[in-house]
Amino acid sequence: MRCRVVNRCFAADEGPSDKLAETLNHDVTVIEPREAEADFKREFGGVRTLQDAERAAADFVERRLRSKEDIPLVEDFPLAPEEETPEFKNLAITLQPRLMRAVEHWQGNTNLTLAALIVRTIKENMRSSSPINRS
C-alpha cells in the first residue's frame, strides 16, 4: 500500500545488499497526499481562467527552480493499487524522473533538482515535437 524509494544510485562495492537496504529506514520523508492537495489548493485555488492557470503554473515552477529545493534522499508515499493500470503505469511515471535524476547525480551533475529535470525534459520534448524539427 506504500512505496519507499531511495533517490540515489549505489556502487556495487558500497556494501552488501542487506546493509544498503538499511538506507530505506534512515531519514525517511513521508509524503501525505492530503498535504500535497492542500498545497495544490493554495497554489491554484484562485484560478478561474486558462490564462490564470498558465500564469500560476509558471510562477510555481519558477519558484521551485529558484529555491533549488529537491526531493529527499528517502521518500515514502502511498500507492493506490485499485487506481493503477495492470502495468503500474502511474507508479512508473512517478519513478522514471527520479531514476533520471539519480543517474545525473551519479554522473556528477549533483546540482540538478527533480523540478529542473522535469522542466528540461518538457522543453526537450517540445523542441523535438515542434513542426520545425519534424523535417
pTM of the model: 0.80
pLDDT score at 33 = 86
Note the pLDDT tens digit of each residue in 51-62.
988 888 888 888
- Rounded CA-CA distance 97/102 in Å is 9
Residues of the chain above pLDDT 70, percent: 96
Residue 65, CA distances (Å) to 4, 9, 42, 59, 99 in order:
25, 23, 18, 10, 19
Q: How many CB atoms lie within 10 A of CB 5?
A: 19
Which pLDDT value is given to residue 132? 67
**Structural domain tally of the chain?**
1
Q: Which residue has the cell 546540482?
A: 111
User: What's the mean pLDDT in 20-36?
Assistant: 89
* Whether pLDDT at 5 is above 90: yes
CB 112 within 8 A of CB 105: yes
- Chain-centre distance of CA 120, in angstroms? 13
Averaged pLDDT score across all residues of the chain: 89
pLDDT at residue 130 in the model? 67
Checking if the pLDDT of 134 tops 60, the result is no
Output the pLDDT for position 133.
Answer: 58
Residue range(s) defining the domain that contains residue 122: 2-134
73 touches 6 (CB < 8 A): yes
